[in-house]
Structure 1
Amino acid sequence: MSKQSAKKAVSTFADLPELYAEETATPAFEASFGDPLPLSIIEPGEEPGEHTMPEPFAAQKVCGELITSLFLLLDDTRLSPLAPDAAWGIVNSFHFVAGTLERREDRIADKIREMTRRMEPGEVFNKELEDAQLECQSLAEQRAAFEAMRDYAAAMYRACWRRAWAPTKGSKASSVSTASYINALDFLRERALAKRERVEPQGPIVVFSGPAIWEEWEPLWAKLDEIKVRTPHMTLVTTGQRKGADAIAAAWAAREGVPVVAFGLYGTGRKSAFTRNRKLAELGPVEAVLCEGSGLQANLYQTLRKEGVPIHAFQKPKDAAAPRKARGSEQTPEEDTFRRARRFV
């Protein structure tokens, strides 16, 4: 910012809050970078030491520029279609490091748990236990920092390409390391509680499912907006596809800050998809949004309807390309049931 623009920016007291906000990191970065542990262990086997963290605003600025610089470089060029894939990899690199740190954190936590079961008198044992706890806390602090960077880069990814970032597998759980624990048992108890809250959202469940080929996002977003008014603390459970209707729902959830659980297909065999549908019904959803697709979608509609779940069903747009069928195949009874459903909105 030049001196002239700075003088103009603070010409009135009313401009000060806006200027301060522009030069200040968001709360997530302040929480993860702004209050580091007095002592930390940055490498396994090292002695505890006083190590600084990057400045919160600088960390946030760099994470944003990694994505926006790529967008500005490749936009409106022949490389533009490839830009989202390249940017996805940038976000995923933060996610990969955070996952690696979390696995190390889990191993140290298991070690602490085992040590607390065989408490021994003596300074050597107490020193080993304290070091293990400090190492676990240090890993939690590092993980929270990388999660903050990943989440901000993911937000910039969504702003540039209008699609939500999601990992190919696993969860994208975020937390902020703010605890200063009294002893090892309290540390493990609080850590377990924080982890459950991050990866097992407790809000009322809304099921969403649709085919991989679906482009009309406005009606879906409007319906999800209506549901969120009725269920402000909802958790959105999708069928986990990275494009089409599920991707549209994930983008809406990213904008609204709604937790998303990607309930994809697990296992092999023809019955795995129908087993998934049954498990979705067993979650006890309060509402469901279903987009017309294959017979699998029709089966999900029937399964949820038997459980008495209110369903908002969307017909396939008339000009949408019909899925290719085998020669001589006809519409199944399940597909016919879905198309004759009365609650299309």
Structure 2
Amino acid sequence: MTKSINSLVELELLFNDRIDYAADRDSAGAYDQAFIETSEMAKLSIVDEPMATEMPDPEMARAAVELAVGTIFDVFRDTRMEEFAQQIVWGFVNSFHMTARLAEGREDDAAKKLGDLARTYDPSEIYAVELEETQMLCQTLQGCREALEAMRDHASEVYRVETGKPFQATRGSQVSKNGVTASQIAARDFLAARSRERREQLAPEGPMVLVSGGQDWHDHEQIWDRLDDIKARVPEMVLATTGMRKGVDAIAASWAAARRVKLITFVPDRKHGARAAFIRNENMLKLKPVEAVICQGSGIQSNLYELLRKARTPMHALRTANQRPDAKLA
């Protein structure tokens, strides 16, 4: 424990010399929630025995992430290598993202096994132990995933503050009279709670606002102003974009990251061939958006505009010709 305290002090001394990122003020609470220990025991694989290990100190993890990411930018700043800092840090953030997804895959496998066990009645002690240890495995992996996601989100926010661009990954708990044991009740409750949490992460609940437009759009202020106006009227909004990495979608994603608004990206499913983008548009309409911002682009935007118009969705249609001048070309 003394070693941990000393390490934390050393990290804080370095951390206090760094830029006071806006992200840091909001990240501490997220770390505290993600690094919770639900049990004194942990289990990380089916073959491992339960062990008494702790989660990392959340404050140390937070300081380490910010120090690592921020220092890369500091070292390269105002040098001939400055342009490479963004690529290196993107890889750093993406490593957290991919590791969290690997943990999620193991968690899903454990949850599937737990579900199979919870649906099978067996009064034996061997069954009860297997059920409890499988639940422990699932809980341990869930906790690790949540911690990795907290670190990824913090690192991506520092990345956004430094670059002005949001990080975008290459991919993103009855009664025994019915023959149900106490262990089964706990397992089923855990699975129900986990399912609710994952549904909210994958399909956030809230009024949906759609944004789409061309990849050569440069007037970010116009889009930010429109979205700020919508958020003032619809504070619980969830933003959905057509998932492009440039132009309107990238500007909207940057706004969502800055305003802490949940973002859903709808990427066309290439198995549909030339119809992929248009099928994607139809699927977006199934969300019953409450408002939309459509900027002039290609036939894909024209198709989405017509679908929204027929659905009588309130809409802001922005023309390319009405953009403010591009400061880079001034």
TM-score, normalization: structure 1?
0.80
Aligned equivalents of 1:105 and 1:211: distance in 2? 39
Is 1:281 matched with 2:285? yes
* Identity across matched positions, percent: 39
The answer for the alignment partner of 1:146 in structure 2 is 148
* Native 8 Å contact 1:265 1:276 kept in 2: yes
The answer for the alignment partner of 1:336 in structure 2 is none
**Structure 1 residues 1-345: aligned runs within 5 Å:** 26-35=28-37, 37-170=39-172, 183-267=186-270, 268-317=272-321
Deviation at 1:281, TM superposition (A): 2.1
SS in structure 1 of the partner of residue 50 of structure 2: coil
- Letter in structure 1 aligned against 2:274: R
Aligned equivalents of 2:52 and 2:158: distance in 1? 32
Aligned equivalents of 2:236 and 2:122: distance in 1? 46
Deviations, residues 20-42 of structure 1 (Å, cap 9, x unaligned): xx999711111222545311113
* Native 8 Å contact 2:214 2:295 kept in 1: yes
* Native 8 Å contact 1:217 1:248 kept in 2: yes
Deviation at 1:48, TM superposition (A): 1.1
Relative to 1, partners in 2 of residues 1:42 and 1:110: Cα closer, same or farther, differing over 3 Å? closer
Q: How many residues align?
A: 294
Deviations, residues 149-205 of structure 1 (Å, cap 9, x unaligned): 0010011011100111121223xxxxxxxxxx9711111111111111111111011
Return the structure number with greater relative CO, CA threshold 8 A, min gap 6. 2
List runs of 5+ in structure 2 lacking aligned partners. Answer: 1-8, 14-23, 173-183
Relative to 1, partners in 2 of residues 1:296 and 1:34: Cα closer, same or farther, differing over 3 Å? closer
List runs of 5+ in structure 1 lacking aligned partners. Answer: 7-21, 171-180, 322-345
Q: Aligned-pair RMSD on alpha carbons?
A: 2.5
Relative to 1, partners in 2 of residues 1:320 and 1:281: Cα closer, same or farther, differing over 3 Å? farther
Aligned equivalents of 1:130 and 1:206: distance in 2? 43
- Letter in structure 2 aligned against 1:222: D
Deviations, residues 284-331 of structure 1 (Å, cap 9, x unaligned): 11111011111221221122111111111221147989xxxxxxxxxx
Relative to 1, partners in 2 of residues 1:212 and 1:77: Cα closer, same or farther, differing over 3 Å? farther
TM-score, normalization: structure 2?
0.83
Q: Which has the higher helix share?
A: 2
